[in-house]
A and B are shown apart, each in its own frame.
Chain A
Amino acid sequence: MSNTWPLWEVFIRSKQGIHHKHVGSLHAPDEEVAIENARDVYTRRQEGVSIWVVESKNITASNPEDSDAFYEPAKDKIYRHPTFYDLPDELKHI
């Protein structure tokens, strides 16, 4: 049975205002059941207030072989981090 059901990726928003975060995957025959399964498998301990599911085959991923070209060039460009500014004390959560 599980062999024929497609795989879905599950994203959970832990509370209002926070973004959805990938939490894992599961099997389900269609999107409604995928949402219900995600509710039953991934929100049993009050982990979430909102669920997204997307069939895994619809996700396009970067190729690990490209990692040198993709990620290496950023390594020596530390000036892109916003750590060279003096932040006012009133500014929180940065």
Chain B
Amino acid sequence: MKENLLLDYLLQLGDNALVLGQRLAEWCGHGPILEQDMAITNISLDLFGQTRNLFQYAAKVEGKGRTEDNLAFLRDAIQFKNVLLVELPNGDFGRTIVKQFLYDAYNFLNYTALLNSTDKQLAAIAEKSLKEVTYHLRFSSEWMIRLGDGTAESHQRMQTALDDLWMYTGELFEMSEVEKELVKTGVAVDLEKLKSDWSKKVREICDEATLKVPENGWMQKGGKTGVHTENLGFLLADMQYLQRAYPGQQW
């Protein structure tokens, strides 16, 4: 039973990284300029690397012969446990940055807390990932500030994106049953404890970016239990196409 809980938790962490990585990969060749195109796809590759570490461990914990590739390419939307925020469409570059920043601020705190996980393998993955995520947060923070406090148009686009995405931030700190159980043994992160630090970071950057932090209202949720927006299906259709059409195909 404990193994199943851990498997669920690893998939939750891995799915967040995989789905966000896939979203960012959509920018490949479409970035506003070459330098930003590479920056975004570098982050995408970091996230795929984190996914691999988490899925390899998940496959081992499950012990039923499934591989990291099976977990990525042969599960349906309802079996994905990522938060809704990461599956939302990119929109323009500004919206992509807002989404990335809101997630990075959470991801940084989550991995920092995971350093103290009683699961040594998970703590080791967190340590490796944290170096990457520290840069992601720096990158998205800098662009929040520049576009928020940029031209009238960039400011307006950033504020609109922030207002639209805000209802997807509540889920980041909503504990699933799996997380509640695993917090008791010190494996999972108690998300409730991250919330004030997250709010502080978001407020600090938004203040500098001259953006107004939205009021907390009704929040969307469901991703952690497999209830997704319609966007995830399209993303997976794109990502999983090859393995679905040509099962077992390799490079």
Instruction: Please report A residues at the B interface, Cβ cutoff 8 Å.
Output: 1-2, 5, 26-29, 32-33, 36-37, 39-41, 44
Instruction: Please report B residues at the A interface, Cβ cutoff 8 Å.
Output: 32-36, 38-39, 42, 135, 138-139, 142, 146
How far is it, in angstroms, between the C-alpha of A12 and the C-alpha of B32 when the chains are bound? 25
Please give me the 8 A-B residue pairs with the lowest Cβ-Cβ distance, nearest first: A37-B35, A40-B39, A2-B33, A40-B38, A40-B42, A41-B38, A26-B35, A1-B32
| With A32-B142, A33-B142, A33-B146 as contacts: A40 and B35 at CB distance below 8 Å | yes
- With a cutoff of 8 Å between Cβ atoms, the chain A residues found around residue B32 in the complex are 1
Residue of A26, A37, A44 ringed by the most chain B CB atoms within 10 A? A37
- With a cutoff of 8 Å between Cβ atoms, the chain A residues found around residue B139 in the complex are 36
- With a cutoff of 8 Å between Cβ atoms, the chain B residues found around residue A26 in the complex are 34-35
How far is it, in angstroms, between the C-alpha of A5 and the C-alpha of B33 when the chains are bound? 10
- With a cutoff of 8 Å between Cβ atoms, the chain A residues found around residue B142 in the complex are 32-33, 36
17 residue pairs bridging A and B, Cβ less than 8 Å apart: A1-B33, A2-B34, A5-B33, A26-B34, A26-B35, A27-B35, A28-B35, A29-B146, A32-B142, A33-B142, A36-B39, A36-B138, A40-B39, A40-B42, A41-B34, A41-B35, A44-B38
Chain B residue nearest in CB terms to A34: B35
Chain B residue nearest in CB terms to A30: B146
How far is it, in angstroms, between the C-alpha of A37 and the C-alpha of B96 when the chains are bound? 18
- With a cutoff of 8 Å between Cβ atoms, the chain B residues found around residue A5 in the complex are 33
- With a cutoff of 8 Å between Cβ atoms, the chain B residues found around residue A44 in the complex are 38, 42
Determine how close the nearest CB of chain B comes to the CB of A60; give it in whole angstroms.
25
- With a cutoff of 8 Å between Cβ atoms, the chain A residues found around residue B146 in the complex are 29, 33
Chain B residue nearest in CB terms to A28: B35
